[in-house]
Structures are given as C-alpha cells and as structure tokens.
Amino acid sequence: MCGIVGYTGKRKAAGVLLHGLSMLEYRGYDSAGLAVLGEDGQIRMEKATGKLYHLDKKTEHGERLPGRSGIGHTRWATHGEPNEKNAHPHVSGEWKQGAGNFTDSDVIGVHNGIIENQTELREKLLRHGYTFYSDTDTEVAVKLVDYYLKKYQIGPIDAINRMMVRVRGSYALVLMFRDRPGEIYAARKDSPMIIGVADGETFLASDVPAILDYTRTVYYIDNYQAARILPGEVHFFDLNGDEISLSPVTISWEPKAAEKNGYEHFMMKEICEQPDALRNTLTHYLKDGELDFSQAGLDSGLLGGIRSVCIAACGSAWHAGVAARYAIEELAELPVRVELASEFRYRKLLLSPKDLLIVISQSGETADTLEALRIAKRKGIPTLAIVNVQGSGIAREADHVLYTLAGPEIAVATTKAFSCQLLLMYALAVQLAYVRNKIEKERYLYYVHELRHLPDKAADCISAKEKVQRLAAKLAGANDVFFIGRGADYAVSLEGSLKLKEISYIHSEAYAAGELKHGTISLIEKGTPVIGILTQSSVSEKTLSNMFECKARGASLLAVVSGEALSDGGAALKEEDDASEWRWIRVPEADELFAGLLAVIPLQLLGYYTSVSRGLDVDKPRNLAKSVTVE
C-alpha cells in the first residue's frame, strides 16, 4: 500500500527519491513527503497532500533539499486523516506546519504497516515526556526508537531491535539519525521491503519498480531483521543484534517493463502484454512437450498423494481460484475448497497433512494470504504458492512456489497477472489429473496442446478491442450493472464485475445466473445492463434463458460467447444481434475447461474503456492500492 524509498550514495538524494516515489504511485496514496540529511548535518523535510506533483513542485524538483542520503514516502491513510501533519516522514521531536523545512529531531522515519498497540505505546511515551503532533502510529514508532536510544544510551540497531520486540503489528520502518550522515536504518515485519546495491550507491524501496532504473541486485530483508545501509553496502542484523549474511537476488525484469512504452495507460499496456506473459509462463514449465513442475518440488509422489485441495486468496486472485476449482474437480476428481484469505484465518482449519493449500497472490505480500499460509504451515499442511514476485514474503515461506512470469504489473486493476495465475492453475489441474491416472496420455497431451494455444487466442481477443470500445461508450452512463454465468462462467463473471467497479466506479455485481430469480431480478429495470458469460455448452442455454427474462423486464443485454457454446441457442443470439438492446462478443473457441481465460479479456477491456469514457484515472482508482499489505 504505502510507498517507501530510500537512498544513500553519490547523487542528489531528493531527485532519486522523487523518481522512486513516482514509480510507486500505483500502490495508492493520499499524501507524500521527503527528508534529506545534508552533509552539514541538517535534516530538511517537505510534505504535501494529494498527488506527487504537489511535492515535486514544493521542493522545486528536489532542489530545495540538498544532500546525498534521504527517505521518501507516499502515504495511504490508516491512522489519522490525510493531511500534512499526518504525512510522512515523522520525527522524534516537534513538527509545525509552515515552520520551514528544517528539523532538529534526532530520529526521522517513514513506515508502511500498522502498529496495533500504538495507543498503549503512545500512553507510555506520554508518561516519559514525549508529545505528539499527529494521529499516526508511525510517529509512535519513531519516538519509541528515540526513547530506547536515549534511555539505554545504545546504538541505532539495538534501539530498533528493542522497538521490534515491543510493538505488535506489521511494519517496514526506515529511519535516519541526525548524528549519522550517509546512513539509513531499516526494520521489517510482514510489510514488504527490498534493498538494492550498486557501485557506491544503495537503494531501499517497498517494491521493485522504484529502484529498477538503478540496480537489479537486491536483498529481501526478512521478518524481525534490521539493516544498516551505507553507500554501496548494506549490513543485516538479527533480533539479537548479531550481524547476519543474506544472499542477493537478481531481478530479471528490464527497466522498460515498468514503463508505458507509448500506451496511454499501464492497464492497456498490460492487457496487450497478456499473450507474451501467458506464453512465457507456460513455456517455463514445459519440457519436451509435457508439463514439468519438478523445479518447484511438485513431483508425482506429492501430487498423487493429495486428498483434497484448498485455495486461499483475495480479490482477483480469489476469482482465479474459483475458476480453477472447476478444472481441478473435473479433471483430477479432487474436492476443492476456495476460501477468502481474509476469512480463512478466522475459521477452524479442517485440513490435514494429506491436503494441499494453494495460496495465490500477485505481489506475494498480501497480508491475509500470507497469514493463511503461515497457519497452514504451523499445522503441517503442505503449501504451494503462485506468485509473480521472486523473493516475496509468500514465495520465501511456502513449501513450493510456482512463479507467473507476467513481469511488473503497475496498474492497480490486475490483468496479465490474473491471466497467468489462471493459466498456471489450469496447468496444475492437468498435471494432477495425469499423475493421479484420471486421464490417459493421449488426453493429457491434448490438454497441453490446448494450453499452448491460449496465448495466440488471447491475442485474437485483444485484436477485437475496437468493438468492445464501442460497447463501453454505451455502458459509461449506467448506474448498476449485473454479470451472470453458471459454473466456470460464474467465476469469470466475478472477475468481470470487479474490473468494472474498481476502475469505473459503477456499481456492479456478479451472480450465479440461476440465483437471479431469488431476489436479484427485482433490481432489473429499463436499461439496466446485464452481461452474460456463455462459454459452457452444458449450461449456456439456461443462462441465455435467464438473460431473456431480464430483457423482458427492460434490461439491456451483452453476451460474451465462446465457440459453439450456445449450439441451437446461437440462432436466437444472432437474431437479436441487430436489436438496440442486445450486443455480443465472440471469443475464440477453446476447450471449455480453459475458455474462461479468454472470456475475461473482453471484460478487462470493457472495464478499461468504460473508465476512459468516464474520464477517470484508470491506473490509480480512488481508495485502492495495488498491494494490500495490512489487514
């Protein structure tokens, strides 16, 4: 959620920090701030509410903050409303709005996460003479470090370690100390943080794109670890204060992968990147024409001994799990539960070591999903993670990891990462079926063949975007939209509805088509758009009947159709094609188990073009963040 950057080296820090924050705008924020420690020992700081360009203007593109080490932050409000006093950085002393950009505080810091016992700690610090100017938990953490520093006359690492023992919650905390120019200190628990090293320079950020232009050699600091960052070097410490060694990771993404490359929005760029992302992901797990997950430790012994599968995820990743459930149950004949990770952690876990928990997360840092993983591991349940970020928290802690090779995804609304998650889940369903002797070799090779052709068919879906654009223009004025489908089509409806609502701000809901008459159809009135997903031949006729029931009550209809899913009903569909209240989109024919991956693409485009038609910020919708790293 919040964006953090840090830099120490040979450049002017403020420029590097502003660039890094601009690369993290997709995470969502309501204010921003910088602090730079100059060679003169002065800490200069500026904050601004709203978009980052306000801070850029206020600092004169960083020129008003001289110095070669500093920290920056884009804030997503949790404790306290979005304003300058609550914006980061925060200081151990006093801060007064409009009092200039100097601070004589000994400690200054930025923070991503939530300190759950901040009220208790605030009261403790008040008793020891501290005062507070903000409503944030971050100010509490900064002043707690200052308290330990002075009470025990210890160094920064020891003070930070005492803070970590005392606080409850999640944090990526980055600090500067006025008497230590050129140095930055950091600590982490559950909130993401990476540290990148180059020749004579060191960078810190909450996500890779912030530092990708400067280095691809990074370290992933783990829970309850601290770091001392110097120009061109970094030292790591455990909770006892002992120095430890961490291995660097090389990021494979090219810097241009995090740029728009001529597209108006990242979301459209990422929709159009789906064929390559799908192809790269599948090719990574193919060997001699067959699926091979051995590099993830998923051998036939493990896969063949599974009694059931449980999938835990949030948001679009949960929709990928819902869609995959139909393929796994159909092919592998395994019972599958799909749980919201945000609910999973508060329920009694009825799983055993003979079951497999699959967690899905684009960032690999989703807080609820990470906690679901940890609960399963504590109970000895095998875990498999499907993530897009190498070295992320979920990737490090899961027993087995399958990476989607989608590259960096900047737009808040996921597109290519979702498709790659779904593709990997389809591939896993095929492999499970084969090793469990539920399908013969010939059928297995047929399914692999179908998977290999999905990237090209995805490209065909994208090539028809002009038709979707015309339809979206008619949808832009809607107040309410309903998506319906049955079986796997219902899962696609869930994702289509989410795409529309999160970036166009139109109220949208997805329903299993058969549930319409159990109350929802009372909301249908003249002109209400109803979007049906029709890719499953065994149930599409029934869904079509539900759509015509809506039409009889004044609804405006749109269908996404795959292949010959409608059979005889296709004639009725074509007859209605010329009517003003009816529109339809056909996607390439594919095996019905995998057709959902293609059907979702025009729905992604529909959400995108509807948002554009309404003049909204497609990549950074209001109130949303790319990665939900707190509960």
* Catalytic-residue membership of 260: no
Contact 105, 92 (CB under 8 A): yes
Alpha helices in 464-517 (DSSP H): 465-475, 488-504
Mean of pLDDT over the chain? 89
Torsion angle, alpha carbons of 576, 578, 583, 588, to 10: 80
Q: Which residues contact 150 (CB under 8 A, 6 or more apart)?
A: 106
Which has the closest alpha carbon to 503: 1, 78, 28, 3?
28
- Rounded to the nearest 5 degrees, what angle is found at the Cα of 464, between the Cα atoms of 463 and 465? 95
Hey, which residues does 244 pair with through a beta bridge? Answer: 236
Q: How confident is the model at residue 573 (pLDDT cuts 50, 70, 90)?
A: low
Tens of pLDDT, residues 407-457? 888 888 999 999 999 999 999 999 999 999 999 999 999 999 999 999 999
Set out the domains of the chain in order of their start, with CATH numbers.
3-255 (3.60.20.10), 266-463 (3.40.50.10490), 465-613 (3.40.50.10490)
Contact predicate 475/610, CB 8 Å: yes
CA 360 to chain centre: 10
User: What whole-number distance in Å separates Cα of residue 230 and Cα of residue 213?
Assistant: 19
How many Cα atoms within 13 Å fall on the side-chain side of residue 589?
A: 6
**Residue of 2, 420, 461, 550 marked catalytic:** 2
Give whichever of 60-74, 154-168, 469-483 has the largest mean pLDDT.
154-168
Please state the φ and ψ torsions of residue 186, each to the nearest 5 degrees: -145, 155
pLDDT of 582 > 50? The answer is no
Confidence of residue 627 (pLDDT cuts 50, 70, 90): low
268-318 pLDDT tens trace: 999 999 999 999 999 999 999 999 999 999 988 899 999 999 999 999 999
**Whole-Å CA distances, 232 to 147, 180, 247, 253:** 30, 16, 15, 21
CA distances 582 to 174, 228, 575, Å, are: 55, 62, 10
Q: How far apart are CA 1 and CA 26, in angstroms?
A: 9
How many CB atoms sit inside 10 A of residue 285's CB? 23
* Strand duo 355-361 + 383-387: pairing: parallel
**b/e string for 42-79 if b means 16 or more Cβ within 10 A?**
bbbbbbbbebbeebbebbeebeebbbbbbbbbbbbbbb
**pLDDT tens digits, one per residue of 77-114:** 665 667 778 888 999 988 766 555 667 789 999 998 88
Structure confidence by residue, pLDDT tens digits, 21-79 = 888 876 667 788 999 998 777 888 998 888 788 888 888 888 888 999 999 998 766 65
Mean pLDDT of 231-242: 95
For the segment 10-26, the average pLDDT, to the nearest whole number, is 88
Stated as kind and residue range, the H or E segment containing 37 is strand 31-37
Q: How many helices and strands (H and E) does the chain possess?
A: 19, 28
> Who wins on pLDDT, 292 or 389?
292
Nearest CA to 373 among 310, 297, 295? Answer: 310
For residues 310 and 357, the answer to whether their CB atoms sit within 8 Å is yes
End-to-end CA distance of the chain: 11
CA distance 304 to 295: 17
pLDDT of 578 > 60? The answer is no
Active site residue 2: yes
Calculate mean pLDDT across residues 318-327.
97
Partners of residue 250 on adjacent β-strands: 217
> Mind listing the pLDDT tens digit for each residue in 361-384?
998 888 899 999 999 999 999 999
Note the pLDDT of residue 548.
87
468 has a pLDDT exceeding 80? yes
CA atoms within 13 A on the CB side of 79: 21
The size of the chain, in residues, is 631
Model confidence band, residue 489 (pLDDT cutoffs 50, 70, 90):
very high
pLDDT value for 97: 65
- Annotated catalytic residue, options 47, 501, 620, 626: 626
Give the pTM.
0.82
Q: Which of 144-158, 316-330, 404-418, 507-521 has the lowest mean pLDDT?
A: 507-521
Give me the DSSP letters along 418-432.
HHHHHHHHHHHHHHH
* Residue % of the chain over a pLDDT of 90: 62
Strand partners, 316: none
Burial class for 80, CB neighbours closer than 10 Å (0-12, 13-18, 19+): middle
E strands, 166-216, where? 169-177, 184-189, 194-198, 201-205
What residues contact 295, with CB distance under 8 A and at least 6 apart?
none
Q: Supply the pLDDT for residue 579.
A: 45
